[in-house]
Amino acid sequence: MAPQHKFMVFTDFDGTITLKDSNDYLTDNYGYGYARRRELNIEILEERWSFRDAFADMLKSVTTPFDECIKILVENIKLDPGFKDFYEWATANDIPVIVLSSGMEPIIRALLTHLVGPTADQIKIVANQAKINADGTWEIEFHDDSHFGHDKSLALKPWNQLPADQRPTLFYCGDGVSDLSAARETDLLFAKIGHDLITYCQREKVPFKVFSDFKDIHRDVQAVVEGKTTPQKIAEEGAKEAAEQNLADPSKK
């Protein structure tokens, strides 16, 4: 039996589809600030804090009303320069693009609609939610009970476990600690240069290909789709590149 889709792209949202992480932006500018956020990011990477607890702590420091947060983010968050062209190409080639995010779905939907346009309504989003309390305060409502809050690997595993003749080729694009659970579940992992996901992949020996923006991802995915190369070959090239360069610099995150 032929697969429903021959190729599928799963992608993180914040800092991957966008140039800045919307949750980081809120924490840095309307919460307790950059220094404390980075401390917790390192604690997550070193496995001293769970992502779930640290992320909830960061967002708890933001007291701005939720609707105002969305307005602020729409005004300040920019799209990766290559994403719109990549999404249009993928759609034209029957390649689903699915957002797996540890952010909150209402924010992601608002930003996608603003940045990409009405066609973004077709993008499936699997993410956390926001709980608005009676007194107007808000808090994150996590997708599942995992220590990630949203275990992104759960969305990839059903496809990964299909028989070989039904299984699509899976791509994943990410940048940070919330992508750790999905890193091992994909045929080709794209990790953003200068960010924490590379640190994890190098430490755990998880194959990856570095990217600067979605133009890089577009090039490599299209090459695989057109049969010019394979995910394995691209990952091997990525390993050589990573060995030659210092690609991870958490201070940039």
Residues annotated catalytic, as ranges: 12, 14
Say if residues 171 and 159 touch (Cβ distance below 8 Å). Answer: no
d(CA 162, CA 165): 8
User: DSSP alpha helices (H): ranges in the chain?
Assistant: 22-30, 34-45, 51-60, 66-76, 83-92, 105-116, 153-160, 196-204, 214-225, 231-244
Torsion from C-alpha of 107, 188, 238, 228, nearest 10 degrees? -120
Parallel, antiparallel or unpaired: strands 97-104 and 7-11: parallel
Q: How far is CA 15 from CA 6, 24, 104, 228, 229, in A?
A: 27, 9, 14, 29, 27
Q: How far is CA 196 from CA 25, 45, 109, 145, 245, in A?
A: 17, 8, 25, 23, 15
Q: How far is CA 88 from CA 25, 121, 154, 178, in A?
A: 28, 13, 26, 26
d(CA 120, CA 53): 31
Nearest to 47 by CA among 246, 196, 248: 196
